[in-house]
Amino acid sequence: MSCFASLTRSSKIRTVVFLIAAACITAMAVNCVHAYQGYQMEEMFKGGDGRLEIDGADFTWIFMSGLNFMKYTLIIVVLAAYTVFMVVFSAIISLSMRLIGLRKVRQDDMSEYKISGMGFIAVNAIGLIISLIITKGGLLLAILLFFVPQLLIVWAVYLSDLKKKSVQSAHGHFVEDTKQDLTQL
């Protein structure tokens, strides 16, 4: 907490807004896991015990094989759609945070980056635990597909830029082969 107290007012606001945005992204991922789990369980246990007989021959197994193929294909399509949604949603939030929040940022140290990074990891760890509780430890592929891309996108788009701006400001901008610091001009 002492690191947070040492931040400037704008850094505190930016950190809090980022953590709220990260919580929204994680909540959406948990919501996708819950919705997908409900959809998958509903589709998997639907009844399909009707018999198909043509001219006295039983064609139920062919019909059920085709029906099951369509069900599983639809389950995969829904999984892909939720994954694409999470990628787009997290990219929009991350890009807006970067473009709005990091326009004129110059940090003297890495405190804001460390707080934001640790908060982001904590929020996602809580989301993963909730997802595992919701699915009773199942649907690990779906959980990974909903969480890993958004983790990578937020880290690559927002947190890496925040780190870069913190490191550049802390080390200064020197003209090559001289000792002249461009931030002092």
In degrees rounded to 5, what are phi and psi of residue 46? -70, 145
Q: Kindly tell me if the per-residue pLDDT of 109 is higher than 80.
A: no
- Asked whether the CA dihedral 123, 127, 130, 132 is positive or negative, the reply is negative
Give pLDDT tens digits for 132-143.
999 888 888 889
- What is the average pLDDT score of the chain? 79
Query: Do residues 134 and 81 lie in contact, with contact meaning Cβ atoms separated by under 8 Å?
Result: no
Query: Which tokens belong to 134?
Result: 């919701």
* 3-class state of residue 183 by DSSP: helix
Give pLDDT tens digits for 44-100.
555 555 665 566 666 666 767 777 788 888 888 888 999 999 999 999 999 998 888
Q: Read off the pTM.
A: 0.73
* 3-class state of residue 54 by DSSP: strand
| H helix or E strand, kind and range, residue 106 | none
- Asked whether the CA dihedral 33, 145, 163, 2 is positive or negative, the reply is positive
Q: Kindly tell me if the per-residue pLDDT of 177 is higher than 50.
A: no
In this predicted structure, what is the pLDDT of residue 2? 66
Query: Which tokens belong to 95?
Result: 């890009």
User: Residue 128 corresponds to which amino acid?
Assistant: L
Which value, to the nearest 10 degrees, does the dihedral of the CA atoms of residues 113, 116, 119, 123 take? -130
Q: Kindly tell me if the per-residue pLDDT of 118 is higher than 70.
A: yes
Radius of gyration of the chain (CA): 24
